Structures are given as structure tokens and as C-alpha cells.
Structure 1
Amino acid sequence: MREDRPIRAQVLVAGGGPVGMLVAAELAAAGVDTVLLEARTAVSGQPKATTLHARAVQSLARRGHLPGPAPAAYPPVPTSGAFHFAGLPGLTITAPPHEPEPILKCAQADLERHLEARARAAGARVLRGYRVMDLGQDEGGVRVTAEGPRGSVLCHAGYAVGADGARSTVRALAGIESDTVPATVSALMGTVTLDDPGALPKGWHRTPRGWIVAKHTGEGRVQLRTLNCDGPHPDRHRPVSLEELRDEVSRIAGREIAMHSPRWLSRFSDFARLARTFGQGRVFLVGDAAHVHFPIGGQGLSTGVLDALNLSWRLAHAVRGTAGETLLTGYDAERRPLARRVIDGTLAQLALMRPGPEADALRTVFTGLLAAEDENGRLGALISAQDTVLPDPTGVGGPAAGSYLANTGLSTADGDTDVIRLLHDGRPLLLLFGEKSDRHQEAARPWAGMLRTVEARPVPALPYEAALVRPDGYLAWVPGDSGLDQVLAAYFGPGGCVDAASRPAEST
């Protein structure tokens, strides 16, 4: 049976985890007619990711998406959080002054609920119980067939975003190939009750036979993860039993660890995948649909969040007809190399976790490196993505183009504010400082309808007479050898008198 009326939208998002919900929330907030299809009928309570790292936290703050009420002000001094590198303690991740704390602990299920509420409030149509079955595209748009509660349904959209996980149907149907790294280890995870809660203290436990990570959740419940470096499991699809988990934990620990009442048992490995392109025609991939890696370092969710925030503003401008010729292709150019770096970083951490005298020596060296790192250390920046500098797609953006604009307090005619708050509405931000900035305001006049232009008193932290900030927080331009109008034209096409907010949307 097929539903009689097709679903029509400007953008269709497949997959309703936190990354897909974030894309839907961003697009809907930008006025894009967005529909999200999710196969699950409710949020899963299965323990998954729990960590968001500094650059993802900072970027969510700039878009107003952090869970909980926004503080009146962020700490005026750098803040630090303790983390690990390859299970070795001592890594410190530090955020600059006036930024949120660098490590946000939030269960993936809670973040999904939070972002779903924001997506719905912004006007996105979230349809649960719909599974994508077929996809095709041409110059006019994307056609998706999905299986829903009342049978199959046909969906028409201008663009589609695959946020449907590691086994992405959208990636497969779009014909996007991947580069993969085969599994070399086997790992188990699950939540159990220990007969003796003190048998496994919380934290990372290494023995010559492997690793156990124990996280106590209260009332005797413990989330367990194991790592066995002897090789991949011969049947990765075989369901995990309580006996298998108990035997593996006991083997690694070297003593019997009794447990009962299992939940959420599963297996994983160090299999890695990187899609060869994050965008093909009118179809784009984000999160695990685009890249998968060993889950050491808690970087998967953060990487997906940064994908979503990088893609969404580009798609919004494409729908409105205010995107420059290369704006959409810039998503793959910026995000794919960064995903490659995350995969390489996790493989390097896994190398440190393997047994053997060479790995023991490496761990000794890295323990010393962690102890010697300062607040701007290389390893902390690698994990938190705070060292990210994007390529300047225009070539004329000036000396700071591609760097992330740290939060700074600003004094304007409307009162005191800061960079974080000025980016909440999702528009490109043109900051003007002092009288010499008049010429830049004049140069930007053809694009005035899509910009948020703010005049502020000069501040030492921003030694420019003007700056153009992308909606995701990165600098697109500061005064240099070329003009602002060249950069605006490259990002948003030729300027005109049509206000972007009122420009007719592209037909689907």
C-alpha cells in the first residue's frame, strides 16, 4: 500500500540521531521547508556517545543549541577539563576565555531529544517510523521512496542529507564509494549489574590480555567496554550474550568477574570508513554516514556536529538561491580532510593501546608528553579540534581567513554583547570597528539583506577595522589586499537589492 499524498520539502534529512536533528533544526530556523525521516519510532536509550569536545561545544553555543539555559557570561579566564589519550590519563583540554567549558558530558539520547525539540519548534517536520528504501536524483531535485506506518510514501525534495549512520542507505543509494580500513581488533560493550560492585573500579584497566573500561552508573549498574587486540571477531553480526561478555571481562581481568541483568549488549571494532565525497549532486552525507572510526577519544559525535553546522548554512543559501558557485562544494573540501585526520588520530591511539614491548615504550613516551603539555598542547588541540584552520576558498579573504573567531565582548549602540550572541540568528556577521569601516559597509551594501551588520567599538582582541564571520564561527574575511565585495560574491553570488530573507525559495 502506498500513501496517497507525496511528501514535499525543500530539504529531506534521512536519519534522526543528534546530527540529523541538528541539520533539521538549523535548516528550519533558516526558513527552509525541511522534513526528517527516522526509522526508529522513539529515541533509543542505548548508551552511545557521551562527550562533546571544545570546538563542537563552542559552535553549538554560537547557534544557541547548547542544552540548558545560556549563562549571562562565560568564564573570563581559560577553563580546562581532564581527558585521556589512548587510555593514558593526564591530557588537559583548555578552552579560551569567554568560551563554554571545553568538555560537555551529555548522553547522546538526551542530546537527540533536545535537538529534536528545537527542530520541531523551528518548524521542521520530524516523521518517525519512516525508513528510506530508494533514492534518485536529477538536476531538478531528489526523489525518495520510504516505508512508513501506512505503507510506502514518495518524497520530493530539492536536496537530501544522509544522516542515517554507519550503514547509510542514502550513501549506498547515491552510489558514493568509500575508502575503508579493515577491522583488526574485537570489542564488546554492555550495561550489567556486578555481583560485587567493587570488583571493577571505574576507569581504564589494562592487562597483558587487553583493556576494560568501566563506568559506574549507580545502583550497581556498570557500563563495560572491552578491547581484544588478538584480531577481529569472526562473526561481527552474531548477537552478544551475557556469557560472552562475562568471559571476556574475566579473561582480560585475570579473575572471575560475576555479573547479571545485561542490557544493550553489542560488539564493535576498529573498522574505519571514509566516504570518497561528502556531496554528490544534490545528496550530502554527515556524521557516521560519511565517516566511521574506532570510538576512542569520544570524537565521533563532535565530528558529526561540526559536519552539520558546516553544511546547514550552505544548504540554506542554496535553497534561497543566494549561494555562490562553489559554496556547496566547499562542504566536502573543508570537512572531508578533517574527518580523515580524526580517523588517523584514532588509529594512532589504538596503536598505543596494543600489547607488546614496543607499545609499552610508546606509552611511556606519551605519558611524559602528556605531563609536559601546556594549556595549548598539540594533543589536546587534536582531540578538541581547536587547532582547525580552514582553507580560504576565495584566496582573497585576508591573513586570518579560515581561523575561528574566539568569543569577544563587544560594545555597540544597542548595548554590550559578544560574538556568540551575535551569531545566534544564523546569518553571516559583518563586524565594523571605527570610522574607517565605512568603506567596507558600502562595499557590502548589495548583500545587506542577508548580512547581520554590527558596528562596535574597537577591541584589542580584534585588531581589524572590519571582519566577516561565517554562520559557523569561522572568519571569511578581514581587510587585506582584496576587497570585501570579492569575498561576498564568492560565497553568496552577485549582490542585488533582493533581501535574502524574502527571496523566493528554489522550486522542488
Structure 2
Amino acid sequence: MDASVIVIGAGPAGLMLAGELRLAGVDVIVLDRLGERTGQSRAIGFTIRTMEVFDQRGLLPRFGEIQTSFAGHFGGLPLDLGLLGSAHGAARNIPQTVTEAVLESWARQLGADVRRGWECTGFVEDAAGVTVTSLDGRALRCRYLVGCDGGHSTVRRTGGFDFPGTPATIELFLADIRGVELEPRLAGAGTDTGMAMVAPLPGGVRRIIVGERGTPPQRRTGPPEFSEVADVWKRVVGSDISMAEPVWVSAFGDAARLVAQYRRGRVLLAGDAAHVHLPAGGQGMNTGIQDAVNLGWKLAAVVRGRAPETLLDTYHDERHEVGRALLSNTRAQSTVLLGGEEAEPLRDVLGDLLASTDAQRMLAARVSGLDITYDVGGGRHPLLGARIPPLRLEHAGRSTDAGELLRTGRGVLLDLAGNRILRRRARDWADRVDIVTATPRADGTSGALEDTTALLLRPDGHVAWAAPGTDDDLRTALNRWFGPSR
């Protein structure tokens, strides 16, 4: 084997997965067809859940000063993200190129082998592994292959993965431009003829997104000319931007597709290779990063022989449902954003609903990635299967938080009641689970922790077991998520 795992695609999802695998001591090669990063930044920010995930791995300081906001939207209708009670806001104006540079540096420092200029043309799977072939005839062999190679994924196509959904019905343009002053314009600021948005980026760059209603998608072999974008902008908005300097230009549509299986044998998919949709609210890259965090520790446990291969089935079970919900909310936002007069009643009803704090909180959690609860086993505890909320703790004589406890990428048994018997039951898993005794701080404890005496956290920060209120005993939960004891 050239590596235990080969990842195709050095975008955010592929690089995050490589870092997660290296945290767990698994050798990984990342292959990308491009000789260097494009410099193009489709995504320009992080959802609250991605901020939490990066905090769990100690990555946030690598981004420098991060501008955050609690102002969100659903189809252009404003949402108050502050209702969610997270320690983080949503990050703004971080180009995807910066995200990729940070994640690549992190993965390489951990020992990941990132190879550029290596175009995957296909693979062959057998009982022992997968052989990956390149355009120039090279071949590499691995135990598991993960396709993080985007919406036109070669891995998905070669592997015969079904990719059902709906084709694009409209074409929209994205352009980063300089040399013209444009006031920020919210995504919901539509016109009679279409939709237009303006967002400021670093270095005096303005990002514009514009779409003209009734414009069918075109088959393109390359990016559109900026003159075409400027013409659409003038028809939709009424102003002339033809004198601007384009940094880069692209076209996209509202196709919505979700792969039927996230795993087929030794081949798995993550990120845009598994789901494509209208980029409403910038959820695509963020969902891909979270796919990688869900998969990384599970794949590592299987590769290292600590858990049975059936653990990988939970990756599909958990993330396919997330993908389904993602397509549902982005298609709904597409109707609100891009629909014409026929969508006005829907906008009115949504506007009325969002006057309710409960409705605001529900939609804010959905677009922020905080509403995800996995099926981890029976129980009544309110945190079971959910991500651990912001939690301040006293541990070993100092203040810490749940995110800091997850920095190593291992599981955590959090004993909140000084229970020696509980800790003794878990010690056979001490090679993969940190056993931590701590007490919640009065100034930083979620109400959901009231009367909670212990929590078992998976490496992705989701609660796998809690006491009291869980049907399974601790050893059953440890065995299910971390494999048989040593």
C-alpha cells in the first residue's frame, strides 16, 4: 500500500479529512489535479458550527483576526443568529483560498502527503484495497479511497454512485471585481427581473452575484466573459459596472443533487462530491468540512483495527440525512430568492413566521449547522446525539471548555460528578478516549446540563452517551463508537 487512505481533491473537505486522519495517526495521501490553488474563492465564510469545529481542533488562531456576525438570513429574510447561544458568531469575508491554505498547512504539519498535478482518471477496487490511476499512467494503491473532488467528481462517476436530484433551472453569475464602488446589498434585495447581491471582500474587492429570472442554464466549457455579467447586472439592477476590473468570474445554477450512498465498499464521498445545491447562505463548503470531521475519526478507527468496518456505515446514516436536510433548505431558499411574483405569498408568510422567536431560532439553527442530532442509541437526555454546547469547566485547577478537550481528536469521557466507578469502567478504552474529571462553572453552563453527571463525547463533538438519561450503559456506548476494549 502507498497509503492507508488516499483522498482525491485538495479543497476544504479533502484537506480537513487529511488533518483528521493524521491526528489519529493514519497515513494519508491527498491528490489534486491542479498544480497550485486557483486563487478563486467561492466560499467566503464559516457557519457557527464550522467555527465550533475549527475551535475544537485549535485552528481558529491560524486565521488571524476573524470578523464575525450574528446577522444571518434565510432566502434573504433576516435571522438573528444570536438566539442560538453559541460562543461563536458566523465568520465573514474569509476567502476560500485562505481556508485552503490554513487547512493544507495544518495537514502537512501533521504529516499528510499533499501531491498536486496528479489528475485521477479512475480506480479499481478489489478485496484488499483500491488502485488509483492518473492521466499520465501513474498508479497508487490504498486501503480506502475518499472522493472530495467536487460536484463533477471522478470518484463518484467511476464508482457508479447514483446521484439523483433535479437539474438547474436558472443560471446565475458570480464575479469578484475591483475599481467600482458598490454599496453592500443583501441577498434578499431582489428586483422585478431577478436577484442581485453585493458583499465587500478584503483588498477593495466586491463580490457580486446576479441572476435574471427566466434565464435557462447554458452548457459552458469555461467561465463567462465579464461583459456578459455586466449586461445582466444592468438589466437586473439598472447600473453600469462594465468599467470594473474582474478578478474572476463564474457561472452556476440551482441544481440540487444528493448521492444515494456516501459509501460503497472501500470508496467514500464527502463534500460537493456527495451533494450539490444552490449556494444559499454559504452552506456547501461548511457541510463538506463537517462531512470530513464526521468521517475522519471513524475511518481512522477502522484503518487502525480499533473498530469494525460497520462503523463506516454510520457515516452514511448520519451525513446522508444532513445532506437531505441541506438540499431541502437550499431549495426552499431558492424559491424565496429566485421566484417571481408567484413566490410573493411565500415571502409574506415566511416574514410573518419569522416574527416569532421560536421560528427564528429554528431556521437560524438550520442554516448554522446547530440543529443536527444523530441517532446514537436510545435515551431521554436532551443532549444525546447533539453537539456539545458551549460549556465552561474547571479541570486540573484551571478553567477550560469542551472545545479545548477535543483538540487531540480523541473521544472524551467527561466525569462531572467525581465518579470513580464510572472512570474505572472506561479505562480499558484509555488508548482512544481521554477520561476527564471536571466541574461546570456557574458562569458558563448550559441549562441542558442540569443534573447531568457524565458525558461521552465523540471526536466530532457530538454526545454519544450521557448520565442520567441514556438507556445503554457506558461500556456498551464505548464499544459501539470506539470499538472493543483493549
Taking structure 1 as the reference length, the TM-score comes to 0.87
Pair 1:438-2:397 in alignment: no
Residue 167 of structure 1 is matched in structure 2 by 152
- 1: distance between equivalents of 2:345 and 2:380? 45
Describe the SS at the equivalent of 2:281: coil
Gaps of 5+ in 1: 1-6, 72-78, 497-508
What's the CA shift for 1:232?
Answer: 1.9
Residue 107 of structure 1 is matched in structure 2 by 95
Residue 94 of structure 1 is matched in structure 2 by 82
Change (3 A) 1:447 1:433: same
In 2, are the aligned partners of 1:47 and 1:108 still within 8 Å (CA)?
yes
What's the CA shift for 1:495?
Answer: 1.3
Identical residues among aligned pairs (%): 36
What's the CA shift for 1:67?
Answer: 4.5
In 2, are the aligned partners of 1:398 and 1:481 still within 8 Å (CA)?
no
Describe the SS at the equivalent of 1:25: helix
> Counterpart of 1:273 in structure 2: which amino acid?
R
Describe the SS at the equivalent of 2:310: coil
1:101-500 matches, cutoff 5 A: 101-147=89-135, 151-193=136-178, 197-198=180-181, 200-204=182-186, 205-217=189-201, 221-237=205-221, 239-254=223-238, 256-373=240-357, 377-392=361-376, 394-395=377-378, 400-413=383-396, 415-435=398-418, 437-457=419-439, 461=446, 462=449, 463-479=451-467, 480-496=470-486
What's the CA shift for 1:376?
Answer: 6.3
Aligned residues: CA RMSD? 2.5
What's the CA shift for 1:231?
Answer: 4.1
Change (3 A) 1:288 1:483: same
What's the CA shift for 1:400?
Answer: 3.6
Which is worse superposed, 297-306 or 237-246? 237-246
In 2, are the aligned partners of 1:132 and 1:144 still within 8 Å (CA)?
yes
> Counterpart of 1:293 in structure 2: which amino acid?
H
- 1: distance between equivalents of 2:133 and 2:260? 25
Describe the SS at the equivalent of 1:140: coil
Which is worse superposed, 461-470 or 22-31? 461-470
Post-superposition Cα deviations, 1:92-116, rounded to whole Å, max 9, x if no partner, equal 1127657222345421100000000
Post-superposition Cα deviations, 1:416-468, rounded to whole Å, max 9, x if no partner, equal 32211110011110111234x22222222322221101112366643322211
- 2: distance between equivalents of 1:397 and 1:59? 25
Greater per-residue helix proportion: 2
- 2: distance between equivalents of 1:275 and 1:216? 34
> Counterpart of 2:263 in structure 1: which amino acid?
G
- 2: distance between equivalents of 1:425 and 1:131? 32
What's the CA shift for 1:262?
Answer: 2.7
In 2, are the aligned partners of 1:324 and 1:492 still within 8 Å (CA)?
no
Describe the SS at the equivalent of 1:160: strand
- 1: distance between equivalents of 2:330 and 2:359? 22
- 2: distance between equivalents of 1:135 and 1:68? 35
What's the CA shift for 1:227?
Answer: 1.3
Change (3 A) 1:234 1:118: closer
Post-superposition Cα deviations, 1:459-502, rounded to whole Å, max 9, x if no partner, equal 66433222110000000011333311111112233212xxxxxx
Gaps of 5+ in 2: none
In 2, are the aligned partners of 1:208 and 1:355 still within 8 Å (CA)?
no
Which is worse superposed, 358-367 or 94-103? 94-103
Change (3 A) 1:247 1:96: closer
- 2: distance between equivalents of 1:244 and 1:159? 44
Aligned length: 475
In 1, are the aligned partners of 2:45 and 2:90 still within 8 Å (CA)?
no
- 2: distance between equivalents of 1:397 and 1:13? 38
> Which structure has the greater CA radius of gyration?
1
- 1: distance between equivalents of 2:107 and 2:375? 30
- 2: distance between equivalents of 1:425 and 1:176? 33
Describe the SS at the equivalent of 2:282: coil
